Amino acid sequence: MRVIVLIFLFLVCSFLSKAQDPVLAVNRIDKYTKELIKQTSLYSFKDGNTVKLHFNVRSVDENYYLQLNVDQPVTVKKGTEITLTMEDGKLLKLVSDNDIISLGESDISKRMIVCTLELAEITALLKQQVNSIRVPTSNKGTVNLTLTAKDKPMIRTAMTLVSPKLVPKKI
């Protein structure tokens, strides 16, 4: 009997430990500014068993943002070019809108690198999958991540979730 219970617990834990695809975490109209705000849940990209990068997509009215977080203490200056390699081999260069300064391990996961998306970038991300991401940092060199087959469609999925066709909740 104990063996069956242990096997059951092992199966439940293994199913719960898998990364969940991005879902729409926020879909509301701000009661003060009257802005439509949509944001996906945080999704983690792994390199083997190590998480290297987290991302989500956010929209405020007609403005779209790709938000990235490197899972180590890094410094990224405002204006840094983050490069996404698309499935057709073209490079999509996004510019960081903010500074990230991490002083040590305790600073990890506190701030997101925010990249404002223009119409051409939104269109590219909605049409194609991302094959790799390159984030240059000031203190840790360049963080390169080649996405697995499972992770390649995740940014496109997140972009679709924040697209204008979804109806917001009224607060």
Q: In this structure, what token pair is assigned to residue 164?
A: 């204008």
* Confidence at residue 135, expressed as pLDDT on a 0 to 100 scale: 94
- Structural domains in the chain, CATH included, are 22-161 (2.60.40)
CA 82 to chain centre: 13
* Confidence at residue 128, expressed as pLDDT on a 0 to 100 scale: 94
Range list of H helices, 20-169: 119-127, 154-161
52/71 Cα distance (integer angstroms): 5
Q: Annotate 25-64 with three-state secondary structure.
A: EEEEECCCCCCEEEEECCEEEEECCEEEEEEEEEEECCEE
Phi/psi of residue 123, each to 5°? -60, -45
| Mean pLDDT score, 111-124 | 92
Which helix (H) or strand (E) is 91 found in, with range? strand 91-95
91/87 Cα distance (integer angstroms): 9
Q: In this structure, what token pair is assigned to residue 60?
A: 């405020």
Distance set, CA 16 to CA 9, 11, 32 (Å): 11, 9, 37
pLDDT, tens digit, 9 for 90 and up, residues 1-56: 555 644 555 544 444 444 578 888 898 999 999 999 999 999 999 888 888 899 99
| CB of 92 closer than 8 Å to CB of 134 | no
* Confidence at residue 100, expressed as pLDDT on a 0 to 100 scale: 87
List the Cα angle 134/91/53 in 5-degree steps. 25
* Confidence at residue 35, expressed as pLDDT on a 0 to 100 scale: 92
pLDDT, tens digit, 9 for 90 and up, residues 58-109: 999 989 999 999 888 888 999 999 999 999 999 999 999 999 887 776 665 5
* Confidence at residue 50, expressed as pLDDT on a 0 to 100 scale: 85
**Is the predicted pLDDT of residue 164 greater than 70, yes or no?**
yes
| Mean pLDDT score, 146-155 | 94
Phi/psi of residue 88, each to 5°? -85, 5
